[in-house]
Amino acid sequence: MTDLNTKLRLELIIESPALRRAEDVLKESGATGWTVLPAMSGFGGTTRWSRGTDISESTDMVVLICIGDANVIKPALKRLHTMLDRRIGVLNVSDVRVLRPDLF
């Protein structure tokens, strides 16, 4: 079987206006790459939301995924957590196994 390496996977669901700030946090923490996906719709608290219903696009949500070593993800996690004190969003981290560790 191919060797697999354990890394941390950070997933952040956040409003699109805050995306650039979250990306800057990852960059400053030393992340070498991440991916942003559009979130289509969801439900939270008492509000159902869906993409494409706000012409300003200011309430559209995006999903930011970053895989990296603990020494990169953990400092980023702390700063992103502070950022979420004032914003709508969901942040989670999980262990994942990757095929090409040199890419992360």
Partner 1 sequence: MSTLLSPVVLFFALGLIAALLRSPMSVPQSFAKGLAIYLMMAIGLKGGVEMSKTAMDAQVFLVFGAATLLSFGLPFIAYAALRVTSGLSKMDAAATAGHYGSISIVTFVAAIEALRLAGVPSSGYLVAVAAIMETPAIISALWLAMRGGTSKSAEETAHDRGELAREVLLNASIVVLLGALIIGAVAGADGFERLSPFFVSPFQGVLCLFMLDMGLNAGRGLRRGWRKLGVAPIAFGLYMPLIGASIGALLSTLIGLPPGDMALLMVLSASASYIAVPAAMRLALPESDPSVYLTLSLGVTFPFNIALGIPLYIAVATMIAG
Minimum CB separation of residue 53 from partner 1 in Å reads: 5
For partner 1, the closer CB: 10 or 25? 25
Q: Letter for the amino acid at 5?
A: N
SS3 of residue 103 by DSSP: helix
Nearest to 94 by CA among 70, 76, 75: 70
The contact set with partner 1 (CB under 8 A) reads 15, 17-18, 20-21, 24, 47-48, 51-59, 82-83, 85-88
- Residues 65, 7 contacting (CB under 8 angstroms): no
Shortest gap between Cβ of 27 and partner 1 (angstroms)?
Answer: 12
Least separation in angstroms between residue 78's CB and partner 1 is 12
Two structure tokens written together for 55: 């012409």
- Comparing CB distances to partner 1, the nearer of 87 and 97 is 87
Nearer to partner 1, 38 or 96 (CB): 38
User: What gap in Å lies between CA 54 and CA 57, rounded to an integer?
Assistant: 5
Minimum CB distance to partner 1 smaller for 17 or for 101: 17
Q: Which two tokens stand for residue 43?
A: 């439900």
